[in-house]
Structure 1
Amino acid sequence: MATPPAPQTPEQPAAPASFDAPVAPSEPAKKKSGLGKKILGVAVAIAVALFWRLGLPHLTGEAPVHAEAGDCVVVTGPETDPEVKSAGCAEKVADLYKVVKVFDNTFDIAKCKDVAEVALAQQLETDKFVLCMEPVKN
């Protein structure tokens, strides 16, 4: 059976204070002006909007690839919203295509009719283009 601790008497020192407690009160922090907060808020909002519009698609790989003739790409996803990624022509992957010709400033996939078996219209920001492609046999 364990014995309970002896009760504390007034002569015994109290438990040591926490080291996190402030020693002396400090001066109150100076408030920023309302105009400074507004400017900072607007600057942060603009930076976030620009990153969301311009940077995020490139970081996440969601931006369409503007390949050149001779490049190889992998096309996945539904026909109505395909995802195109650059790839090496020697890679052993499904849905690998070699770009035969690129038509800039158009969405007219009919231009690929006499050039290649597969056509894919893409838009990268204001740049629109059509990739004419042939499947790569692995």
Structure 2
Amino acid sequence: MATPPAPQTPEQPAASGPVGVPVAPSEPAKKKGTLGKKILGVVVAIVLALFWRLGLPHLTGEAPVHAEAGDCVVVTGPENDPKVESAGCTEKVADLFKVVKVVDNTFDLDKCQGVADVALAQQLETDKFVLCMEPVKN
């Protein structure tokens, strides 16, 4: 007559082998690809941060335009936060200006005196500059 097995406690693993044959405890599953996933996560975070800092303002049109002399631009928005967008010089839009001169590394609007009627200081990343402009009659 066989004796019934003793009830198992939570500390004892369930035996899966034949009765009376000890079962070796299984090794914990190795984490595969954990380092690769961490590296990928860091790379994705860096790409998103760079896109947010450098790419998003250009896609949404929030970055100021660093126009060259001879380019035409449209200026919109309030005086304390004007928005400058590139435009064709033949466009029929209000507030169209032709850039006469660009003065780099300054916010000094007086640099346009005697050169143009309108001066607008802008900053693009670390570049600061003044656009000296004349209104385009359309």
Instruction: Verify same fold: TM over 0.5.
Output: yes
Aligned residue in 2 for 1:59: 59
Of 92-101 and 37-46, deviating more is 37-46
Tell me by how many angstroms 1:58 deviates.
1.4
Distance 2:70 2:103 in 1: 14
Give the unaligned 5+ runs of structure 2.
1-29
Aligned residue in 2 for 1:5: none
Distance 1:33 1:86 in 2: 48
Deviations 1:85-112 (A, max 9, x none): 1111111000100111110111111111
Residue identity matched to 2:119: A
Distance 1:96 1:65 in 2: 14
Residue identity matched to 2:46: I
**2:94 maps to 1:86:** no
Aligned residue in 2 for 1:3: none
Could you state the TM-score of these two structures normalised by the residue count of structure 1?
Answer: 0.73
Could you state the TM-score of these two structures normalised by the residue count of structure 2?
Answer: 0.73
Aligned residue in 2 for 1:50: 50
With over 3 angstroms needed to count, the CA separation of the structure-2 counterparts of 1:39 and 1:86, relative to structure 1, is same
Query: Computing the radius of gyration over CA atoms, which structure comes out larger, 1 or 2?
Result: 2
Tell me by how many angstroms 1:31 deviates.
4.7
Tell me by how many angstroms 1:33 deviates.
3.9
Distance 1:88 1:49 in 2: 33
**2:105 maps to 1:105:** yes
Residue identity matched to 2:88: G
**2:136 maps to 1:129:** no
What SS does structure 1 have at the residue aligned with 2:130?
Answer: strand
Give the unaligned 5+ runs of structure 1.
1-29
Deviations 1:63-87 (A, max 9, x none): 1111111111000011111110111
Distance 2:133 2:63 in 1: 19
Percent of aligned pairs with the same residue? 85
Aligned residue in 2 for 1:38: 38
Distance 2:71 2:128 in 1: 18
What SS does structure 2 have at the residue aligned with 1:65?
Answer: coil
With over 3 angstroms needed to count, the CA separation of the structure-2 counterparts of 1:32 and 1:47, relative to structure 1, is farther
